[in-house]
A and B are shown apart, each in its own frame.
Chain A
Amino acid sequence: MLAKIRKLIVQVDETRIEMGRPVTPPTRRALAMAVIENPFAGRYEEKLDALIAIGEELGGLLGDKCVAALGIAPGEAQSYGKAAIVGEAGELEHAAAILHPKLGAPLRKAVENGAALVPSAKKRGGLGCAIDVPLGHKDAAFVRSHFDAMEARVSDAPRANEIVVCVVVTDSGRPLPRIGGLQAHEIKGEDGLR
């Protein structure tokens, strides 16, 4: 492993009833988080290749953890998202280096296909800082029923020299979607949008 991992966390959130109505089948969202050491904490570094490589590694690791936690075949994944919280001694660009250049390809492999952009969020924060990981349908970004977010947080991270890296994979959209727009069964899934 390139990443120095202090903690790995996997959560599954299953909603069975919403506003008094049964959700059938229940919606399920899995969140996998790695608390890693930031190799560039405390200094400006021009080249961020080490973090880019860590992002590639974590895209596969965290994506696989989510799919395993849901107990589904990779192709049954429906939406995804990613996020990072950088500790006080790091900069926002460190989160960007993990999330954007190379994390996506192995994540897409973990969920099969994944024509759509992986929505993302990043911030700097202290211990217990929460971040809302945005979610979108993995094959068509405009599927309105799958616009969602899942809150991610580690009570004792990130320390100043750490980064919390988050990946969310679901097998469903929101619990009771009814605001129209593009439906999942209508998509072509070729251009990543519709």
Chain B
Amino acid sequence: MIEILRVFTHVEDIHHEFGPVAATPLRRGAIGAVLTNPFAGRYVQDILPMMEALQPVGIDMAQQLRAAMDVPVERIESYGKGAIVGANGELEHGALWHVPGGYAMRELLGWKGDRNAYVAGKPGAAPTPAGQTQNALAIVPSTKKVGGPGATLDVPLTHINASYVRGHFDAIEVRVPGAPLPDEIVFFLVMSTGARVHSRVGGLKAEDISKWDGLR
């Protein structure tokens, strides 16, 4: 069911955006894997077997992206994910990426929840710890579309521990030239080492996260 045709990595260092040059440039990375869409060209009711089959793909991609970015996992501060489905597929095929893509990154970054509970759609009550007990508490923001070869996708990025951290609201444009063909899907993971390079619009700061509920 899983056939990886191409793997595309992108790493960028942002030194400034005509403001003060950052002492440490912001590093953002993306990885796109081009896969054959096993459901292309027809309606298939039960597509969940692919979600399960994608689990190791997500883990490999998360590790490969971290390696391409060449930073320790402790420096990853925000993340996102996305999918571009080729013309012979449907948006729902891209939605298969939510669990395998999201939890692969969260586990890499220190999340200690039960992935299988989420796979089953029964995550249970959210933990309400007194302080920080783990990382990657926040939902992984995502976007998806059906598109042609070379289509672009703006993948949102938010803080790994608290979705409301305003400085980390960001997006990175990703694409794989020449993909997806009609019978292909591109799955993306993205990560970043920090806030926007000149972030200065106030709001919740990362150092002020206090609830540890994934939001604030």
Interface 1/0 per residue, B1-30 and A, CB below 8 Å: 001111111111111111000000100000
Bound-complex Cα distance A153 to B175 (A):
10
Is A18 in contact with B16, judged by CB distance below 8 angstroms? Answer: no
Contacting pair A5 B5 (CB below 8 A):
no
Tell me whether B48 is interfacial, beta carbon within 8 Å: no
Q: How far is the CA of A155 from the CA of B114 in the complex (A)?
A: 37
A17 to B4, CA, bound (A): 7
B68 proximal to A (CB < 8 A):
yes
Contact indicator B15/A12 (Cβ below 8 Å): no
Whether the pair A16, B5 counts as a contact (CB closer than 8 A) is: yes
Bound Cα distance A162, B13 (Å): 16
- A37 → chain B, closest Cβ, in Å? 9
Q: Is the CB of A6 within 8 A of B3?
A: no
Complex Cα gap A9–B28 (Å): 9
Q: Which of B7, B13, B150, B173 contacts A8 (CB 8 A)?
A: B13
Which of B5, B14, B16, B150 is close to A15, meaning CB atoms less than 8 Å apart?
B5
Contact partners of B173 in chain A: CB under 8 A: 155
Contact-size category for B: 20 to 34
Looking at the complex, which one of A9, A16, A150 makes contact with B6 (CB distance below 8 Å)? A16
Chain B residues with Cβ below 8 Å from A172 are: none
Q: Does any Cβ of A come within 8 Å of B177's Cβ?
A: yes
The answer to whether the Cβ of A115 comes within 8 Å of any Cβ in the partner chain is no
The verdict on B152 contacting chain A, using a C-beta distance below 8 Å, is yes
Q: Does A48 contact B (CB under 8 A)?
A: no
**Would you list which residues of chain B between 83 and 97 have a CB under 8 Å from chain A?**
none
Q: Shortest Cβ distance from A21 into chain B, in angstroms?
A: 10
List 17 additional contacts besides A6-B16, A151-B150; criterion CB under 8 Å.
A6-B14, A6-B15, A7-B13, A8-B25, A9-B11, A9-B13, A11-B11, A12-B7, A13-B6, A13-B7, A13-B8, A15-B6, A17-B6, A69-B68, A151-B178, A155-B152, A155-B173
Task: Name the 4 nearest CB pairs between A and B, nearest first.
Answer: A155-B173, A151-B177, A9-B12, A8-B13
